[in-house]
A and B are shown apart, each in its own frame.
Chain A
Amino acid sequence: MADRSGVAGERKSLFGADAGPALAMGGPAFFLLLLFLIGPFFAGIAFSFTNQRLVSPDPTEFVGLRNYSRLLRFSVLRLEPLVDEETGELMRDEEGGLEYPRSREFTRDEENYPRLTGLTEWFNIHIRQKRYVILAGDPAFIKALVHNFYFALVIIPLQSAVGLILALAVNQKMAGRNYFRTIYFSPVVTSMVVISIVWTFLYDANNGLINAFLADFGIEAVNWLGNPTTAMPAIMIMSIWQGCGLQMMLFLAGLQSIPDSLYEAASIDGANAWEEFRFITLPGLRSTMIFNFITITIAAFQLFTQPFVMTGGGPNESTTTVILRMRTEGFREQRIGYASAIAVVFFLIILAINLVQRYVLREEE
Chain B
Amino acid sequence: MKLRLWSIVALLVVATVLVTACGGGPAPEPTEAPGAAPTEEESKPAEDESAGTTKVSMWSHAAGNPKEIGAVEQMIADFNGQQDDYEIVLESFPQESYNDSVQGAAIAGDLPCILDLDGPTVPNFAWSEYIQPLPVSEAELDEIGIIPQDVGRYKGTVYSLGQFDVALLIYGRKSVLEKYDIRIPTLDEPWTKEEFDEILKTLQDSGEFEYALDVNAGWTGEWWPYAMGPMLWSFGGGMIDRDTYLTAEATLNGPEAQAWGEWFQALFEKGYVNPNPADIEGFNQGRVALWYNGSWSADPATEAWGDDLLFLPAVDFGEGPKIGAGSWQWAISATCEEADGAWEFISYMMEPEQIALMSETTALIPTTPDGAALTETFSEGGKYRVFYEMLDRFAMVRPRTPAYLTISSEFEQATTLIRDGGNALDALDDAVDAIERDIEDNDGYGFEE
**Residues in chain A within 8 A of chain B (CB atoms):** 51, 53-58, 102, 104, 107-108, 118, 120-121, 204-207, 223, 225-226, 228, 312, 314-317, 328, 331-335
A333 & B441 in contact (Cβ 8 Å cutoff) = no
Q: Judge whether B442 and A205 touch: CB under 8 Å.
A: no
B172 CB to nearest A CB, Å: 23
Contact in complex: A228, B420 (CB < 8 Å): yes
- B433 to A120, Cβ gap below 8 A? yes
Q: List 12 A-B contacts (CB under 8 A).
A: A54-B103, A54-B106, A55-B106, A55-B107, A57-B129, A121-B426, A205-B278, A206-B278, A223-B276, A314-B220, A314-B420, A332-B409
Listed residue (B106, B221, B416, B437) with the most chain A CB atoms within 10 angstroms of its CB: B416
Does B347 have its Cβ within 8 Å of any Cβ on chain A?
no
List the A side residues contacting B409 at CB < 8 Å.
328, 332-333
Lowest 8 CB-CB distances: which A-B pairs, in order? A55-B128, A226-B276, A312-B220, A316-B420, A206-B278, A57-B129, A333-B406, A204-B278
Give the chain A neighbours of B433 by CB distance below 8 A: 104, 107-108, 118, 120
Interface check B271, CB cutoff 8 A: no
Give the chain A neighbours of B443 by CB distance below 8 A: 58
A118 CB contacts on chain B under 8 angstroms: 433, 437
**Chain B contact surface mostly:** helix
CB <8 Å contact, B416 and A315: yes
Please tell me if the beta carbons of B413 and A317 are within 8 angstroms of each other in the complex: yes
> Given the complex of chains A and B, what is the CA–CA distance between A205 and B441 in angstroms?
41
Contact of A55 with B441 in the complex, beta carbons under 8 Å: no
> CB-defined interface of B126-144 with A at 8 Å, one 1/0 digit per residue?
0111100000000000000
A365 to B442 alpha-carbon distance, docked (Å): 56
Rounded to whole angstroms, the CA-CA distance of A162 and B218 in the bound complex is 33
> For window 339-365 of chain B, which residues contact chain A by CB distance below 8 Å?
none
Which residues in A have their C-beta under 8 angstroms from that of B430? 120
Contacts of A102 in B (CB 8 A): 429
Complex Cα–Cα for A331 and B228 (A): 23
- Contacting pair A331 B103 (CB below 8 A): yes
Judge whether B145 is part of the interface by a CB distance below 8 angstroms: no
Taking CB atoms, residues of chain B closer than 8 Å to A55 are 103, 106-107, 124-125, 128, 130
- On whether the beta carbons of B417 and A334 are closer than 8 Å, the reply is no
Nearest chain A CB to B157 CB, angstrom units? 14
- Closest-by-CB residue of A relative to B425 is A102
In the complex, chain A residues whose CB is within 8 Å of the CB of B413: 317
- Given the known interface contacts A120-B433, A328-B409, A333-B406, the answer about A58 and B278 at a Cβ–Cβ threshold of 8 Å is no
Contact A207 B103 (CB under 8 A): no
- Pairwise interchain contact B420-A57, C-beta atoms closer than 8 A: no
Q: Which residues of B contact A104 (CB under 8 A)?
A: 429, 433
Complex alpha-carbon distance, A204 and B100, angstroms: 28
Q: Are B441 and A56 in contact (CB under 8 A)?
A: no
B405 at the A/B interface (Cβ < 8 Å)? yes
Q: Nearest CB to that of B276 among chain A residues?
A: A226
B218 partner residues in chain A, CB cutoff 8 A: 226
Q: Known interface pairs A204-B278, A333-B438. Does A314 touch B416 (Cβ–Cβ under 8 Å)?
A: yes
Give me the interface of B with A, judged by CB distance under 8 Å.
100, 103, 106-107, 124-125, 127-130, 218, 220-221, 275-276, 278, 405-406, 409, 413, 416-417, 420-422, 426, 429-430, 433, 437-438, 441-443
Q: Does B405 lie within 8 Å of A332, measured CB to CB?
A: yes
Task: Give the residue among B127, B417, B441 with the most A Cβ atoms within 10 A.
Answer: B441
Q: How many residue pairs bridge A and B at CB < 8 Å?
A: 68
Q: Which residues does chain A contribute within 8 Å of B420, judged by CB atoms?
A: 228, 314-316
Closest Cβ of chain B: how far from A205's Cβ, in Å?
6
Nearest CB of B to A338, in Å: 9
CA distance A26 to B437 in the complex (A): 47
Q: Is A334 touching B276 in the complex (CB atoms < 8 A)?
A: no
Cα separation A53 to B405 with both chains bound (whole Å):
13
Q: How far is the CA of A51 from the CA of B422 in the complex (A)?
A: 32
Minimal Cβ-Cβ distance residue in A for B419: A315
Interface pair A335/B130, CB less than 8 Å apart: no
Distance in Å: Cβ of A164 to nearest Cβ of chain B: 36
A56–B406 Cα distance when bound, in Å, is 14
By beta carbon, the residue of chain A nearest B403 is: A333
In the bound complex, what is the Cα–Cα distance between A331 and B45 (angstroms)? Answer: 47
**B442 to A56, Cβ gap below 8 A?**
yes
Q: Which residue of B lies closest to A332 (CB)?
A: B409
Q: Return B86 CB to nearest CB of chain A, in Å.
A: 28
**CA gap between A223 and B218 in the complex, in Å:** 12
A51 smallest CB distance to B (angstroms): 6
Bound complex: CA of A205 vs CA of B218, how far in Å? 12
Return chain B residues, CB-CB under 8 Å to A316.
416-417, 420-422
CB-CB nearest in chain A for B125? A55
Assess whether A57 is in contact with B103, with CB atoms less than 8 Å apart. Answer: no
Apart from A58-B442, A226-B275, A333-B406: 15 A-B pairs, beta carbons within 8 A: A51-B441, A54-B106, A54-B107, A55-B106, A55-B125, A57-B127, A57-B128, A223-B276, A314-B220, A314-B420, A316-B422, A317-B417, A331-B100, A331-B103, A332-B409
A354: min CB distance to chain B, Å = 31
Q: Which residue from chain A places its CB closest to the CB of B218 in the assembled complex?
A: A226
Give A115 Cβ to nearest chain B Cβ, in Å: 16
What's the nearest-Cβ distance from chain A to residue B284, in Å? 16
Q: How distant is the Cα of A315 from the Cα of B421 in the complex, in angstroms?
A: 11
Which residues on A sit within 8 Å (CB–CB) of B124? 55
Within the complex, what minimum Cβ distance (angstroms) separates A179 from chain B? 35
> Which residues of chain B are near A334, meaning CB under 8 Å?
405-406
A150 to B146, alpha carbons, bound, how many Å? 53
- B residues near A107, Cβ cutoff 8 Å: 433
Find chain A residues with CB under 8 A from B221 CB: 312
B107, B129, B130, B278 — most chain A CB neighbours (10 Å) = B278
Q: Which residues of B contact A315 (CB under 8 A)?
A: 276, 416, 420
In the complex, A105→B100 CA distance in Å? 39
Question: In the assembled complex, how far is the CB of residue A119 from the closest CB belonging to chain B, in whole angstroms?
Answer: 9
- State whether A205 touches B276 (Cβ < 8 A): yes
Q: For B100, what are the chain A residues with a Cβ–Cβ distance below 8 Å?
A: 331
Chain A residues whose C-beta falls within 8 Å of the C-beta of B220 in the assembled complex: 312, 314
Question: In the complex, what's the smallest C-beta–C-beta distance from B276 to chain A, in angstroms?
Answer: 4
CB-nearest residue of chain B to A58: B443
CB distance from A104 to the nearest CB of B (A): 6
CB-CB nearest in chain B for A328: B409
Q: Could you say which residues of chain B place their CB within 8 Å of the CB of A53?
A: 442
**B442 partner residues in chain A, CB cutoff 8 A:** 53, 56, 58
Cβ distance A117 to chain B, nearest Cβ, rounded Å: 10
Max chain B Cβ within 10 angstroms of own Cβ: one of A55, A121, A332, A335: A55
> In the assembled complex, which residues on chain A have CB atoms less than 8 Å from the CB atom of B278?
204-207
State in angstroms the CA–CA spacing of A104 and B429 once bound together. 8
